[in-house]
Copies of this chain bind each other. A is one copy, B any other.
Amino acid sequence: MDTLTELTVRLKEFRDERDWAKFHNPKDLALAINIETSELLELFLWKKHDEVEKQKIELEVADIFSFLLLFADKYQIDLKKVLLNKIEINKIKYPVDKFKGVSTKYNAL
């Protein structure tokens, strides 16, 4: 089984054993991704990045990834496909000759 599918299956097992699917509407799942991301950011607040413990970072990253997978599952989004598609879009939006070494005002990678 593909890794993304496998992890989603495991998350849904965990969720369903607790009957939590009823709380997981798309808007709140998107909110949950955001809240977990802020918890990751909080680790860096007032700090330089090398002052942050890797173990704490891993726990927050896991939370963000969990809610992202559950959100994607809700919309039957194929994460691999949309990511590869977005890279193709960004290749057109940010041609190498114009954007090499240039920080842009867009949130590009």
List the interface of chain A (C-beta within 8 A of B). Answer: 2-4, 7, 10-11, 14-15, 17-20, 22-23, 25-28, 30-42, 44-49, 52, 54, 57-59, 61-72, 75, 77, 79-80, 82-87, 89-91, 94, 96, 99-103, 107-109
Contact = CB atoms under 8 A, between A and B. Distances in A.
Given A7-B84, A19-B100, 15 more contacts: A2-B3, A3-B3, A4-B4, A15-B109, A18-B94, A20-B103, A31-B45, A33-B40, A33-B64, A34-B34, A35-B41, A38-B39, A61-B82, A63-B86, A66-B109
* Chain A contact residues, majority secondary structure: helix
Q: Which of A18, A19, A35, A89 has the most CB of B within 10 A?
A: A18
